[in-house]
Amino acid sequence: SYKSAPSGQFALAHNGNLVNSNDLRDSLELAGGDPTPGRALRASSDTDLVASHVARANAGSTKQAILEVLPQLSGAYSFTMMDETSVFGARDPQGFRPLCIGKLGKDTWILASETCALDLLGADFIRDVEPGELVCIDHNGLVGERFEEARHASCVFEHVYFARPDSNLMGQNVYASRVRMGERLAEEAHAKADLVMPVPDSGIPAAQGFARRSGIAYGEGFVKNRYVGRTFIQPTQAMREQGIRMKLNPLREVIHGKRVVVVDDSIVRGNTTRQIVAMLKDVGAREVHMRISSPPIKWPCFYGIDMPDRDELIASHLDVDGIRSHIAADSLSFLSLQGMVEATELPQESFCTACFSSRYPVSIPAAELRNKQVLEPQGV
């Protein structure tokens, strides 16, 4: 979002989701709406809301305006901003979404969501922006300032699925964590099978770990079309089904006549997994054993992962055997919450696990809960 303010022009980018957007919008409309001449407030954009509040702040500099606005925000946010002289980065006190600092050469600073972006640029990783910290980069270098005490609740689903495997989160390599999740899954839910295969790409590290720990041969059972994006975030079921058919093609010669363990990172609605099982049986799989390297997702995310409403989450209304029956697998097991967290080699209190446990670390307004069919109040 690009704005003009008394202190100058600035641009803002945002990763996350605010849970008090309605309050922010109401207060902005009372103050007169978007301060940029000729611009209407975009009602659906958290980014535009925050930028408008920064532009309206009664402050002498962009930095002071940001510090005035940040305490008003509730939810998940990692911001990067740039005005005419400085670059800023800010992270919510829980640290839901990643944000890191890199350096290229002697005087080029970089802010990025993930460390893999630094690798691509040939930059060195310096450190993470801390939860509750604002960093300012100008001609004098980098200065960090705490605007609120940290209450660590980083999204554990970043480690399971969302982050790139070549990134490091909180000092831990994502790929290595996913391999350990697969190893732990093999310990918790062994299967008698001839082949361990992943649902590519996000299931690959966990499948490798499962195969290594179980002693079952590892193989690639699907060829993936690299030009089709993530299917679980497509808006309609018809688009998701078409997406999975375009995305994955089973290798009959690898699968036919075998008992296969299929490792995936998660089950959201269950329809994609059911289609995968059917595709494998259509090409002659003798048995299909689904193994999932995270616990059942029972609760929607309000902090930036685009998950569906609760009534669309299959694990919110079916137990494990009910899900197994729905997807028509010969067996189904999920990694335990404890096993998933321990595989990251980070303390459990570091994480938000709300989509698995219903423990939301930032309170959700009642209207937001109703929007996603969460009818009972949840613990914080």
| pLDDT tens string 115-150 | 999 999 999 999 999 999 999 999 999 999 999 999
C-beta of residue 221 within 8 angstroms of C-beta of residue 250: yes
Beta-carbon-side half-sphere exposure of residue 47 (alpha carbons within 13 Å)? 15
Q: Give the structural domain span for 92.
A: 2-151
Is 360 found in the same domain as 326? yes
The yes-or-no verdict on residue 377 having pLDDT over 50 is: no
328-361 pLDDT tens trace: 999 999 999 999 999 999 999 999 999 999 999 9
Give the 3-state secondary structure of residue 144. strand
Res 374: pLDDT:
80
pLDDT averaged over the chain? 92
258: pLDDT strictly greater than 80: yes
Residues 142 and 172 in one domain: no
DSSP string of 180-205? HHHHHHHHHS----SEEEE-TTTTHH
pLDDT single digits (tens) 176-229: 999 999 999 999 999 999 999 999 999 999 999 999 999 999 999 999 987 766
**Shared domain check, 112 and 51:** yes
Of 151, 177, 202, the last residue of a domain is 151
What pLDDT score does 361 carry?
A: 97
Per the domain annotation, does 213 fall within a domain? yes
Instruction: State residue 231's pLDDT score.
Output: 54
In a domain, 89, yes or no: yes
List, in sequence order, every beta strand (DSSP E) within 148-254.
Answer: 154-155, 168-169, 172-173, 195-198, 222-224, 248-250
User: Order of strands, edge to edge, in the sheet holding 108-112?
Assistant: 108-112, 100-104, 124-128
Considering the domain boundaries, does residue 163 fall inside one?
yes
Buried b (16+ CB within 10 A) or exposed e, 128-163: bbbbbbbbbbeeeebeeeebeeeebbbbbbbbbbbb
Answer for the pair 160, 188: CB distance below 8 angstroms, yes or no. Answer: no
First to last CA, the chain: 32
Domain count, the chain: 2
- Mark whether 7 and 95 lie in a shared domain: yes
pTM: 0.91
Taking 70 as the threshold, does the pLDDT of residue 232 lie above it?
no
Domain membership flag for residue 168: yes
Q: For residue range 90-106, list pLDDT tens digits in order.
A: 999 999 999 999 999 99
CATH number, domain of 273, equals 3.40.50.2020
Please tell me the distance from the alpha carbon of residue 380 to that of residue 377, in angstroms, as a whole number.
9
Helix (H) or strand (E) holding 360: none
Query: What does the alpha-carbon distance between residue 192 and residue 215 come to, in Å, rounded to a whole number?
Result: 10
Residues 225 and 319 grouped into a single domain = yes
Write down the pLDDT at residue 59: 87
Same domain, residue pair 101 and 209: no
Residue 21 located in a structural domain: yes
Q: How wide is the angle at C-alpha 49 spanned by C-alphas 42 and 127, nearest 5°?
A: 130
- Same domain membership, residue 120 and residue 178: no
Same domain, residue pair 195 and 123: no
CATH number at residue 29: 3.60.20.10
